[in-house]
Amino acid sequence: MPRERWGERPGRSDDGQVLVVVAIGLVVVLMFVALAVDVGHWYGQRRHMQNAADAGALSGAYQFCYEAAKTEAAVTGAALDYAEMNGADRALSKMRLVEEDGMVVRTATVRADFFFAR
């Protein structure tokens, strides 16, 4: 048993404070790691959906410019088919054809589940 210093009250030792500081620091570090994993996963999902939306828009534009059937249904169907082949969910996808500018605008939405954040 360590000797108590002169003038120090019994039972008021600083022993064990490092354990508390390290435990709190470890929790903070683990929270930042969890945040980094979740944000990285979110950016990956976002990039994947951007690729699917781009594929759908390019397919719709190709259908509109080069195919004989230039109806809105044909353009929309081609865009949704190619977006779905690239991982977009047809139920969450939106596509509109802007006739006057000859543009095909395609948006895709996905629910990204996180690993740690709830």
d(CA 115, CA 106): 28
Looking at residue 102, its pLDDT comes to 64
**Closest by alpha carbon to 59, among 115, 8, 11, 106?**
106
> What is the pLDDT, as a whole number, of residue 2?
60
* pLDDT, average across residues 108-113: 72
pLDDT value at residue 66: 84
What is the pTM (predicted TM-score) of this model? 0.65
Alpha helices in 1-118, H assignment, sequence order: 17-66, 72-85
Asked if pLDDT for residue 43 goes beyond 70, the answer is yes
107 in Cβ contact with 94 (< 8 Å): yes
Distance from C-alpha of 100 to C-alpha of 90, rounded to nearest angstrom? 26
Per-residue pLDDT band for 82 (boundaries 50, 70, 90) equals: confident
Across all residues in the chain, what is the average pLDDT?
A: 80
